[in-house]
């Protein structure tokens, strides 16, 4: 079993990232045998323009946030992609295998490019090929991600299968997305039909791991809801996306199913429910926030990423060598 996952170092970590992915990274780190591989997808961040200083600051900030959330860089291999050139190299080797039609079907590209397909970067279009390289390099078996990455992981499997078949090798392991049943898709606090996201212009739409207790309280109090009381069964949430989202968040934070939350709050108004939700959020997030504030300016973050990078380079090399060999490309000695 090999656990591998990544996150884009843009903006700060939000509750969707945490409940959908990072909390599972930490749980897997603590439960699986062997080291897990976690990285900041800084090569992916080239798909949108950022200046040099911002990009560097974002990588450090996100590394500090992951450590604050519980990733232990001694046990897990933690690094930024750019320190491991094998990611970019394998990505290019896979370019001959990935099909335009496959990439054209990627919903994340369609969402991000919107009407501006012609003006989008090639990196945004080819992004899922790099993501395939990210996991195939380490023979990932389990990739803990939120629901929005499922399609990218399916593409990685297609690329792996075609490469193995085209070159007659049994090189790449097929990775499996590991998606938490409870919190696969946390929605915006302002619109229950839109995903909670770093790129939403409204900060009120998301809870960041850097938000303090007052800001969390303010965001939850202002979170959109309807007029009705909470139902006593999950079926009663079917056409109530905002209510469903808040119940999902509550359930995920307390590690119970939505039924259990509704058994307690069914028939209640949103006021008392939100008050308890705020307590739960603050209890979970404030220790992470405090660690992050301490770590943020820690001069050792770069050294931590470099030492993780060195370990990752060793892990990645055999797969990269075998991929070059399979294609017949020669690199000299």
Per rule CB under 6 A, is residue 45 in the interface with ligand TYM?
Answer: no
Q: Which is nearer to ligand TYM, 6 or 309 (CB)?
A: 6
Cα 275-278-280 angle, rounded to 5 deg: 115
Q: Which is nearer to ligand TYM, 207 or 295 (CB)?
A: 207
Of the candidates 149, 158, 159, 209, the one whose C-alpha atom is nearest the C-alpha of residue 179 is: 149
Lay out the site mask for ligand TYM across 144-183 (x = CB under 6 A, - = otherwise).
-xx-xx--x-------------------------------
Per rule CB under 6 A, is residue 231 in the interface with ligand TYM?
Answer: no
Least Å distance, CB 101 to ligand TYM, is: 20
Least Å distance, CB 252 to ligand TYM, is: 10
Least Å distance, CB 288 to ligand TYM, is: 15
Q: Is 9 annotated as a binding residue?
A: yes
Residue 198: active-site member: yes
Per rule CB under 6 A, is residue 41 in the interface with ligand TYM?
Answer: yes
Of the candidates 39, 1, 43, the one whose C-alpha atom is nearest the C-alpha of residue 22 is: 39
Per rule CB under 6 A, is residue 55 in the interface with ligand TYM?
Answer: no
Least Å distance, CB 179 to ligand TYM, is: 8
Binding residues for L-tryptophan: 134
Q: Which residues are identified as catalytic? A: 112, 195, 198
The footprint of ligand TYM (CB under 6 A) covers 5-8, 16-17, 20-21, 41, 44, 131, 134-135, 143, 145-146, 148-149, 152, 184-186, 195-197
């Amino acid at each position: 079993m090999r656990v591998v996952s990544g996150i884009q170092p843009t903006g700060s970590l939000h509750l969707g990232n945490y409940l959908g992915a990072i909390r599972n990274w930490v749980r897997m780190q603590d439960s699986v045998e062997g080291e897990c591989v976690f990285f900041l997808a800084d090569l992916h961040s080239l798909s949108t323009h950022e200046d040099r200083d911002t990009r560097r600051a974002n990588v450090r900030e996100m590394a500090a946030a992951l450590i604050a959330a519980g990733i232990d860089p001694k046990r897990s291999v933690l690094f930024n992609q750019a320190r491991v050139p094998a990611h970019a190299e394998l990505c290019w080797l896979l370019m001959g295998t990935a099909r335009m039609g496959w990439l054209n079907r990627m919903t994340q590209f369609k969402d991000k490019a919107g009407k501006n397909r012609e003006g989008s970067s090639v990196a945004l279009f080819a992004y899922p090929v790099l993501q395939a390289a990210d996991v195939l390099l380490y023979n990932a078996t389990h990739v803990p991600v939120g629901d929005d990455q499922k399609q990218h992981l399916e593409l990685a499997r297609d690329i792996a299968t075609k490469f193995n078949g085209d070159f007659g090798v049994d090189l790449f392991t097929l990775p499996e997305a590991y998606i938490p049943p409870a919190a696969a898709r946390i929605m915006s606090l302002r619109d229950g039909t839109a995903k909670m996201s770093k790129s939403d212009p409204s900060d009120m739409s998301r809870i960041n791991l850097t938000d303090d207790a007052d800001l969390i309280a303010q965001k939850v109090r202002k979170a959109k809801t309807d007029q009705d009381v909470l139902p006593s069964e999950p079926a009663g949430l079917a056409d109530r996306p905002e209510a469903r989202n808040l119940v999902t968040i509550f359930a995920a934070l307390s590690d119970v199913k939505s039924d259990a939350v509704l058994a307690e709050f069914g028939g209640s108004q949103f006021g008392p429910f939100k008050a308890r939700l705020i307590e739960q959020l603050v209890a979970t997030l404030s220790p992470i926030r405090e660690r992050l504030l301490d770590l943020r300016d820690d001069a050792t973050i770069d050294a931590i990423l470099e030492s993780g990078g060195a370990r990752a380079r060793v892990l990645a090399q055999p797969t990269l060598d075998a991929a070059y060999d399979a294609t017949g490309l020669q690199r000299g000695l």
